[in-house]
Chain A
Amino acid sequence: MFRLEPRSTRSYTAAWASPVLALVLTAVTGGVIFMAMGKDPGAALYLYFVEPLTTGSGLSEVAVKAGPLVLIGIGLSFGFRAGVWNIGAEGQYIAGAIAGGGLAVYWHQSESALLLPAMLLLGTIGGMTCAAIPALLKTRFNANEILVSLMLVYVAELLLVHLVQGPWRNPQGWGFPGTRMFPDAGTLPLLLRGQRLHLGSVIVLAAPFIAWFVLARTRFGFRIKVFGQAPLAARHSGVSSGRIVWQTLLIGGGLAGLAGVIEAAGTIGQLMPKISPGYGFTAIIVAFLGRLHPLGVLLAGIAIAVTYIGGEGAQISAGLPKAVTGLFQGIILFYLLAFDLFTRYRIVLPTRDTIQE
């Protein structure tokens, strides 16, 4: 049998090779799954991973889908670096959409240039508020942030459904659940004629660079890193664990909320019962696939967005269930976690000496 020998420092080669390897092996596994389903694996894989990148509209859709994934993924990576497990980003995203979108619902005749900035601000605050609950309960009562943040996802989903079916329902909507369409002043302008690409994507593109600066160049970023890798050392050097929990959860919640309001005000243009295909959960994978590094998260978000669009295309043109996308996402993370072994350990095969020993 082989033996694991710890490395003295993490292997950078392994750290950056493992996401690529995970993607490749997921594609191979996907091919096997497609074969088992009686489909031509080559054609199906092309639909999933290549087709979306070959047309202008495909690229535009990838950017639209990558937006929320990257934004939420970057927020989560702050927490994950510090060992704060916020897995309720889906709820914070919805809370942001409710808070920001609510403004456009109430002022649906507004033409004010202030409406959009106010919505983005309020959406961020909405997400932060939703994340503040697990932060408060963690720091004050020691309650597990994983479970609290997750439970709030269900609460936020139910609240959104209630609002769009009840008090906020479009009076001219023939009874369908959903709010009025947001006014022009409350909608993110489109960037290209005939495509859904909107100004939100530009905001999203700025986030990785700001996050990279914060993490790599500020004292705050350094504290998060120390806290995650050596909590005891961090505590002895005066880093307050409560403060880190608050800060990382607020950053994660704020960015998820911003993603939610951008989606509502850009891609959708109103509030509906379902405003996310699970972005908040998929962003967890995006964060890990991007190695919790802002620029890595950007690349990972684009890669995962391709599979989303590919999944939609494959459903339409090849009748493959969209759920395959979700399966791929789980498998990618499995492979990634398995390969992580090589960043921390070296595999040592037994030689004659060690056997005799």
Chain B
Amino acid sequence: MTELILASVLTVVPPIMTMMTAATPLVFAATGELICEKSGVLNLGVEGMMLIGAVFGFATAAVTGSASLGLLAAAVAGMLASLIFAVLTLTLLSNQVATGLALTIFGTGLSALVGFDYVGETIERIGTVHLPFLSDIPVIGRLVFGHDPLVYLGILVLLGSGWFLNHSRWGMVLRAVGDSDVSAHAIGYPVVAIRFAAVSFGGLMAGLGGGYLSLIYTPLWAENMTAGRGWIALALVVFASWRPGRVLFGAILFGGITIAQLNAQAAGLGIPAAFMSMLPYIATIVVLVLISRDAIRIRLNAPACLGKPFRAER
């Protein structure tokens, strides 16, 4: 009996482990976008920033041989890309939807160009954390303490963002800026500067999420390798009703769907592979519909100034 339980647990543990790694890029990207949107800025360029992070992270790792430097480069590249968006939308008051789309198109092109020489190259991957004793606990040890460090960093950043938004002074200022830019400006808070910071944080996190994909999850570079994860991250923010805790839940749910469909393809259930691959995208639509149906809830939770340009009158 115990053997049976052990056997079934052992078959369950690896998928849960991979589920967490599939969820982590989404955790990073969605957390960054959530902070950005809380400040009232809608950045649809997540997919582009992730691609830029993925390619610069991979190239850096391939050149220097250090995956950690690669992750750093990914985050910085994502942030620099987000600054283009910030200057256009916040300083030059361009349309946020159009500018976000432009950022995604730009990121797709730039990443393809930079990654041209790196297609098919491999790099050394970052190992998993091994904590003495803790990681050796049967079953739970590997499940809780056996991931790569970025999985924990993602969860930490998410929890930290939740604390920041709800319990810190500047977090509340950020929410005030997102809910009523005019009043926040009248009280004397630097609306544009705060939004610049929030957008940069979003870029930093999207870049890191992209870097995680190319450096740890796969690890290789391929054109358009994010395959819509940036857009799914955007949907996750809506799904989470702009609350960090629910982002984690949503990301794990999508990580689970991704892994489940891969396993089902490998098992060969007779369902064509293409239909299984559609699942994460169809799930995103279904989830969006279920959440958005309640228009009042969306209106209550969404930052009131989301997507609106702000220009200081004096």
Contact = CB atoms under 8 A, between A and B. Distances in A.
Given A162-B274, A341-B93, A143 B285 contact: yes
B106 A321 contact: no
The B interface is mostly helix, strand or loop, or mixed, namely helix
A314 B281 CA distance: 36
Nearest to A147: B235
Interface residues on A, range: 35 or more
A326 B108 contact: yes
A214 interface: no
Contact of B292 (A144, A338, A344): A144
Contact of B88 (A146, A325, A327, A338): A338
Contacts of B101: 87, 284, 333
Given A162-B274, A337-B88, A324 B288 contact: no
A341 B274 contact: no
Contact of A330 (B102, B238, B273): B102
The A interface is mostly helix, strand or loop, or mixed, namely helix
B281 A151 contact: yes
Interface residues on B, range: 35 or more
Interface string B188-230: 0000000000000000000000000000000000010001100
Interface stretch (A50-58, A153-161, A219-227): A153-161
A119 interface: no
Interface stretch (B110-118, B176-184, B241-249): B110-118
B164 to A, nearest CB: 26
A331 interface: yes
A148 interface: yes
Interface string B79-101: 00000100010001111011101
Given A146-B44, A159-B274, A325 B109 contact: yes
A311 to B, nearest CB: 10
Contacts of A324: 109, 113
Interface of A: 4, 85, 87, 133, 137, 141-144, 146-148, 150-152, 154-155, 158-159, 161-162, 166, 281-282, 284-285, 288, 321, 323-331, 333-334, 337-338, 340-341, 344-345
19 contacts: A142-B293, A147-B285, A151-B231, A151-B281, A151-B284, A159-B278, A282-B105, A284-B101, A284-B105, A288-B98, A323-B113, A327-B112, A330-B105, A334-B102, A337-B88, A338-B88, A340-B95, A341-B92, A341-B94
